[in-house]
Amino acid sequence: MAHKVEIYDTTLRDGTQAENFNLSVEDRVRICHKLDDLGIDFIEGGWPGSNPSAVEFFNLMKGQTLKHAKLTAFGSTRNFKNPPDKDANLQALVAAETPGITIFGKTWDVHVRDALRISLEDNITIITDSLQYLKPHVEHLFYDAEHFFDGFKQNREYALKTLDAAVAGGAECLVLCDTNGGTLPNEIPTIIEAVNSHFAAKGRNIPLGVHAHNDSETAVGNSLVAVAQGIIHVQGTMNGFGERCGNANLTSIIPGLVLKMQCQVNTGKKLSHLYETARFVNELANLPHNKYQPYVGRSAFAHKGGVHVQAVERNPITYEHIEPEKVGNVRRILISDQSGKSNVLHKAKKLGLNLDSKDPVVSAIVTELKKLENQGFQYEGAEASFELLMRKAMGTRHHYFDLKGFRVISQKTSMDEPSQDEATIRIVVGSEGEVHTAALGEGPVNALDKALRKALTRFYPNLKNMVLTDYKVRVLAGEHGTGARVRVLIQSRDEDSEWGTVGVSHDILEASWQALVDSITYKLMKDAKGRE
């Protein structure tokens, strides 16, 4: 039986170093829970000594409960000028109060001399005593051997000596890092064998990990080859986000380990959640999905006409290396009306909606979904809108109000003063007749939101405990300039849950209105179900 492998996710730290990849503190918390649901073993939350948002994240997580994953804080070995108990970086790691800590140290002698500007022996000292200081404070202590593969190739003796120092310091796992991403898969076995032989000669069997970057387009390959050599700990990021060309992509590594190498991986139990998790991260980062991404891309199991389609309809293995459902994806026959049906049924079951595969409503939902997706709608991160879409087709969506019209005025009277925004709205609520309200806001969308709530709260007072926590706008087709379609994603919550809604239009206010209406409708529907 293949050996057990633990998965260490560093999306919230290494992933956020990618260009244009930005997350709010609240988004980090949500992603952390999503990764926990997937079964990730360790989640690296960030570098608590680097910036205030990292500190805020770790403080927020102290009040959170993870079902399986262990949160880790990341940092470096101490500054040579500071003793461990006076080093600000080490103190910040301890203050994070996480079950795990990962610190990195210099392996490559070039970095010791040119970056740290200390002697090679002094570097050995700070590796050992930094780890020794942290050891009593945590359940898990990892050591990232930065630039290990480059360091090994240039000065093998010293690279191995730094690993000895980390073992002496109490690290439970030594993570071999290809920090520059220049190592190729054919080099991995020889180097790992040399490391294992080094410790075997000392009568030691030290657990090893791998942390690969993708600058040579081989990070996934390097990670899988490393596991084949006995590595038991793999670090990477969701969708391969990371500095420069990215990190090892866990959405490819995890199914490779589980389905191809038959490794014992905890995420294997939740592998069917991989697709939705990958897209969830993209949505919160406000980045487009890579449709051609292996395993979790929309095109990964898409077949377009001709011989391929005929063969796949007879036997899918003719052109598919795995069953798409195993990773939560779906087969898409691009010329078939049946494409997406299984996905709708899967979502309906998850939301507790009673739909039969032979029910004509399912086909109607698929048709509507195709039409909306063609317009730019995406429902990852907006499941409330998707549930409302299905309930509308099933005839179970309640109608709480009708729009008669709205107007938003944005007025700027001076170059040095902010604009003044006012929204006026007319709606009809059941038999109560027309309601006409106006509100000022911080921007046109905020004014529209306030006016709508002002009109509705007298009829639905429970809307007072609903707040909008996030608002994202994505331009869908930039080549059309200011006439491009935009997608608005809104996140809302009340005292016991949170939900996402989406709107798409050429007009940002119209897109925002769609998402706002879905958000309020979902809240009212949810509360009504709770009273039944």
User: What would the mean pLDDT of 283-308 be, rounded to a whole number?
Assistant: 84
The answer to whether 74 touches 30, Cβ cutoff 8 Å, is no
Of 39-48, 202-211, 490-499, where does mean pLDDT reach its minimum?
490-499
Of 102-106, 311-315, 490-494, 498-502, where does mean pLDDT reach its minimum?
311-315
Residue type, 110: V
Of 102-106, 245-249, 272-276, 356-360, where does mean pLDDT reach its minimum?
356-360
Both 344 and 452 in one domain: the answer is no
Number of structural domains found in the chain: 4
Residue 76, pLDDT above cutoff 50: yes
Short-list 449, 442, 364, CA closest to 406: 449
Task: Pull the structure tokens for residue 480.
Answer: 């059309």
Residue % of the chain over a pLDDT of 70: 94
Length of the chain: 532
Both 268 and 365 in one domain: the answer is no
Give the CATH number for residue 93.
3.20.20.70
Both 244 and 311 in one domain: the answer is no
DSSP, collapsed to helix, strand or coil, labels residue 51 as coil
Q: What is d(CA 4, CA 230) in angstroms, rounded to the nearest whole number?
A: 9
Both 312 and 425 in one domain: the answer is no
Give the CATH number for residue 318.
4.10.430.20
Both 179 and 209 in one domain: the answer is yes
Residue 480, pLDDT above cutoff 60: no
Of 119-128, 239-248, 374-383, 502-511, where does mean pLDDT reach its minimum?
374-383
Residue 67, pLDDT above cutoff 90: yes
Helices H, strands E: what count in the chain?
17, 16
Its pTM surpasses 0.75: no
Residue % of the chain over a pLDDT of 90: 71
371 confidence band (pLDDT: 50, 70, 90): confident
Q: What is d(CA 207, CA 214) in angstroms, rounded to the nearest whole number?
A: 23
User: What would the mean pLDDT of 388-415 be, rounded to a whole number?
Assistant: 90
Residue ending a domain, among 284, 311, 327, is 284
What b/e sequence results for 14-51 when a residue is b if at least 16 CB atoms lie within 10 Å of its CB, and e otherwise? bbbebeebebebbbbbbbbbbbbbbbbbbbbbbbbbee
Range of the domain at 426: 404-459
Q: What is d(CA 167, CA 172) in angstroms, rounded to the nearest whole number?
A: 8
The radius of gyration of the chain's CA atoms, rounded to the nearest angstrom, is 26
